[in-house]
Amino acid sequence: MSDVTPAPQPIRPPTALRFSSAIVTWSIIAICIVVYLAQNATGLAQGSVTIAGIFYGPAALEQPWRFVTALFLHASPIHILSNMFSLFMIGPALERMLGHWRFAVLYFLGGIAGGVAVYLLIPDTPVLGASGAIFGLLGAYFIIARRLGGNVAQILVVIALNLALPFYFPSIAWQAHVGGLIIGAVIALIYLLPRTSHRPRRQQYLLLGVFVLLVAVTLVRSMLL
């Protein structure tokens, strides 16, 4: 019996839409909606949900879960609608290409990278929202679509327009967008690496390396504050 771990399913163009083919995307959307309702429910949240989960640099080391919880919080109806619409547009196709687990890793590492970028550049600014994670998806989609020979002009326009928004809406944390975009592209490059019998877990080790790098950057930034 061989001790070589079987290779994962290859990245391929999306097939017909099925709920089960994008269950991570739908679950994230559902959780964000429920959390937003909890944020605004009279007599239930009164801001406590937001305060407990928002990302805030000075609390990053003592409360590291904020890197993730902030991804499920939104500040206004327009905020959550725009983010969930973006996730709905790109998430299912990308999840069908990558598979559930690899998509989930991409989403959350992109979101965490957005928080790390905010911590690096504007550490005292509280932020919330899924846009860092969504930019991670955009970065990955661009790399994968280009490798598959697809037309990437539209995705470039979407990325450029979203990167330009902070110039018109200063409350948008462009730092999170850039951090998610960069790490999303890096993770896509990792996913495109072939696995061989000599290096069957290369993707897993490199993904772990990305996570360790994000942790290390956070620790170094904390020491410099």
| 92-151 pLDDT tens trace | 999 999 999 999 999 999 999 999 999 999 998 999 999 999 999 999 999 998 888 877
3 state SS of 55: strand
3 state SS of 77: helix
When pLDDT is averaged across residues 29-46 and rounded to a whole number, the result is 80
Indicate if the pLDDT at residue 166 is higher than 80: no
- pTM score: 0.86
Helix (H) or strand (E) holding 27: helix 23-40
| Tokens describing residue 176 | 């999170």
Give the residue extent of every domain in the chain: 19-224
Q: How many residues does the chain have?
A: 225
Cβ atoms of 223 and 61 within 8 Å: the answer is no
Tell me the fold of 19-224. Rhomboid-like fold (1.20.1540)
Using alpha carbons only, what angle is made at residue 9 by residues 5 and 13, rounded to the nearest 5 degrees? 165
| Tokens describing residue 50 | 């937001």
Better-scored residue on pLDDT, 190 or 14: 190
pLDDT value of residue 220: 92
Name the CA dihedral angle for 13, 19, 22, 27, rounded to a multiple of 10 degrees.
170
pLDDT value of residue 177: 94
Would you tell me how many other CB atoms lie within 10 Å of the CB of residue 57?
23
Indicate if the pLDDT at residue 3 is higher than 50: no
pLDDT value of residue 59: 86
pLDDT value of residue 86: 92
Residues involved in catalysis: 131, 177
Helix/strand/coil percent split, the chain, to 5: 70, 0, 30
Cβ atoms of 200 and 155 within 8 Å: the answer is no
Using alpha carbons only, what angle is made at residue 192 by residues 190 and 194, rounded to the nearest 5 degrees? 95
Q: Report pLDDT digits (tens) over 46-103.
A: 577 788 889 998 888 889 999 999 999 998 899 999 999 999 999 999 999 999 999 9
Would you tell me how many other CB atoms lie within 10 Å of the CB of residue 60?
21
When pLDDT is averaged across residues 178-204 and rounded to a whole number, the result is 88
Better-scored residue on pLDDT, 7 or 183: 183
Q: Report pLDDT digits (tens) over 5-25.
A: 334 445 554 444 555 689 999
